[in-house]
Amino acid sequence: MHTTPPLPPSGPASGPPAAAPSLTDGEWHRLHPLTPLFRGGLFLVVIAGIVIANLRDRLVFIFLPWLDDDIDVEVDEWQSGDPIDYILANNLVLVAGLALLAILLVLIALFYLSWRFHTFRITGDDVEVRSGVLFRTHRRAPLDRVQGVNLTRPMFARLVGMAKLEVVGAGLDSNVKLEYLSTPNAEAVRADILRLASGRRLAEARVAGVAPSVSRVANAASVVSAGINGLITGAEEPVSEPESVVHIPVGRLIASRLLSTSTLWLLAIIVAIIVGSIAGTPWVLFSLVPALIGFGAYWVRTITRSLRYSIAPTPSGVRITFGLFTTITEILPPGRVHAVEVDQSILWRPFGWWSITVNRLSGRGIADANADQFTTVLPVGTREDVERVMRLLLPNLPESEWPLVFEHGVLGPKPDDPYTNTPRRARLLRPLSWKRNGFLLLPQALLLRRGMIWRKLAVFPLARLQSIGIEQGPIDRALSVAGIRAHTISGRVYGRLGILDRDAALALFEDAEAAALTAAASDHSHRWAGDPSVPEPVDERRAR
């Protein structure tokens, strides 16, 4: 019996959906189509604010007519020179409407050209960004010099599922920014950049099988589609993050900011204002009240920046997330931390709180106000929190040497102190901290301990140490003491330690030089995945 074969189904072919186009395929891609709106949105907000401020009386008169008795006095003033009245009186409504339409079309054209000529590509060696219509710029960040990858999600951009990706370079103002991408694309691009920077091929980290090739037109269409879907769906999708090893209660965070040196300055300002008011010098109010408002804004800003804080290990490095309104997620790849410091003020000592700061290349200028937020990796934490974070930042330190870091370094001195401290003959130069002022050289790091009122322990990984120097002034020569300085990149971690025995400082100079050369020769953290044929136990421990 003859049977007729079934007709093929109409419409698109059935089967598994094609894989989404990759943004790290070495081709040039464009950013999120809403990027010009958010990058130029501040300008539009300022223009709208000026217009609303100039028309506030008319808006009140139109939308709140029951208040007309209160503003009758001002009506004649704004009607006499009001441009809207001029347009209505001279029947220029159509002309004004066409002018506004022309301005709107020009803005749309400028936004489109800005988006059209802003492209990026990610190859196996670099991250490149081209931008500009009349004046073109081309920036490139070598992957083997990547110091970190930051993901910033401002509050308004998060409403439509957008994020800003920043590849941190090794030089000053060398960061390459991709602003903006959809949040899923930004997460995927960051993961691919870190895989490439580690020396691992992308194909080894992806699911087996070759993804179908996708043309640039299809790729651009998918980006536009993602932008439209972002407008429809609204808020961003939840971003999966590894569980944090530290949880900071909000009460502890607020209390730590209140118990700080800035609080003492604030109290001094308040006292000065009260005294000035009583003494009849009102000029004090004009000079100190703005400072009081500034301190209040600083407090609120530091607290909101530290909310939603988390820190966790990942195969690509340490992942740090912070920020309430603008959420910032940064990943520090292995070997990118040049110095670590644990410090505790006397105001925090009764509560057992500590903070941790680092020296790292942020790719930002010294004048950048946001550069400081990338140096604090633990705003406030207990002893257990400090140990967990320190183990993440210093994964190569052997287990047997951790008591030298925390028990003797952070909490010391203790009996059988292994640190070399200030000699007794020079204790007058360090009357409070001479027993604590000392150093300890380990095969992997140099430890500098100082301070009694403000306890500090600075750890300098020898593989990152640039040089070490000895300093000696006339008083030092008379007492046969000297100071040492560990040279690293500039930052909040201070590398100088003074008032040490001269012979001990000379011995440290020789030993640290040899140890730093040995550590640097065995360091391969710029490509931490390494050769696939050579296993690296450091990465295995980090992955666990």
Residue 201 has pLDDT above 70, yes or no: no
Same domain, 87 and 47: yes
Same domain, 92 and 225: yes
Q: Is residue 486 part of a domain?
A: yes
Same domain, 189 and 267: no
Report the chain's mean pLDDT, rounded to a whole number.
Answer: 77
CB-CB contact of 414 with 372 (8 Å): no
Angle between helices 68-80 and 56-63 (to 10 degrees): 140
pLDDT, one tens digit per residue, over 355-404 is 999 998 876 655 555 556 678 899 999 999 999 999 999 988 888 899 99
Same domain, 99 and 186: yes
Cα distances (angstroms) measured from residue 490 to each of 270, 363, 377, 513, 520: 35, 12, 17, 20, 19
Residue indicated by tokens 């019996």:
1
Contacts of 388 (CB under 8 A, 6+ apart): 245, 246
Cα distances (angstroms) measured from residue 364 to each of 109, 196, 239, 452: 32, 23, 27, 33
Number of folded domains that form the chain: 3
Same domain, 272 and 133: no
Q: Is residue 4 part of a domain?
A: no
Q: Enter the DSSP assignment of 280.
A: T
Same domain, 379 and 516: yes
Polymer length in residues for the chain: 544
Same domain, 358 and 269: no
How far is the C-alpha of 267 from the C-alpha of 273, rounded, in Å? 10
Same domain, 367 and 291: no
Q: Is residue 149 part of a domain?
A: yes
Q: Is residue 316 part of a domain?
A: no
CB-CB contact of 49 with 42 (8 Å): no
How far is the C-alpha of 430 from the C-alpha of 439, rounded, in Å? 15
Q: Is residue 8 part of a domain?
A: no
Residue 357: its pLDDT value, please? 94
Residue 238 has pLDDT above 50, yes or no: no
In this prediction the pTM is: 0.76
Residue 82: its pLDDT value, please? 61
CB-CB contact of 173 with 363 (8 Å): yes
Q: Is residue 438 part of a domain?
A: yes
Residue 364: its pLDDT value, please? 61
How far is the C-alpha of 364 from the C-alpha of 328, rounded, in Å? 16
Q: Is residue 209 part of a domain?
A: no
How far is the C-alpha of 465 from the C-alpha of 338, rounded, in Å? 7
pLDDT, one tens digit per residue, over 397-451 is 888 899 999 899 999 898 889 999 999 999 999 999 999 999 999 999 999 999 9
Same domain, 138 and 31: yes
Per the structure, the complete domain to which residue 268 belongs is given by 250-306
pLDDT, one tens digit per residue, over 252-284 is 988 998 888 777 777 777 777 777 767 766 666
Between 303 and 340, the more confident residue is: 340
Q: Is residue 324 part of a domain?
A: no
pLDDT, one tens digit per residue, over 75-109 is 444 445 566 666 767 777 788 788 888 888 888 88
What is the widest separation between alpha-carbon atoms in the chain? 115
Contacts of 408 (CB under 8 A, 6+ apart): 414, 417, 418, 419, 440
User: For the chain, what percentages of helix, strand and coil (3-state, to nearest 5) are there?
Assistant: 45, 20, 35
Instruction: Kindly list the strands in the beta sheet with 496-501, ordered across the sheet, starting from the edge strand earlier in the chain.
Output: 467-471, 481-487, 496-501
